[in-house]
Structure 1
Amino acid sequence: MKQFEYRVEDIQVQLKANKKFSEVMEEKLNSLGKDGWELAGVNGTVFYFKKEEK
């Protein structure tokens, strides 16, 4: 049976000049994805991630 580890992130984006919200969010989500985290759900600014335990 697969075992998962979970992570909760309250992601609030502060935009810098010449950066779009979508670009900032993509960078953050891609960074977590590279570390093996998979988006499992969203509730407002709270993002829930999971990854399989090794």
Structure 2
Amino acid sequence: MKQFEYKVENIQIQLKNGIDFNIAMSEKLNSLGKEGWELSGVNGTVFYFKREIS
């Protein structure tokens, strides 16, 4: 049976001049994805992730 661990992150992106929100958010989510976290839900700025425990 698969087991998972969970992570809750409050992600707020502060933009500087010339930085696109979509690019900044993609970079943050891709960074978490490289650590094995899979986005499983969103509620406003609260993002829920899970990854399988091996």
Aligned to 1:27: 27
Give unmatched runs, 5+ long, in structure 2.
none
What is the total number of aligned residue pairs between the two structures? 54
Aligned to 1:12: 12
In 2, Cα distance between equivalents of 1:17 and 1:7: 30
In 1, Cα distance between equivalents of 2:3 and 2:21: 33
Q: SS in structure 1 opposite 2:32?
A: helix
Segments of 4+ moved more than 2 angstroms: none
Normalised by the size of structure 2, how large is the TM-score?
0.97
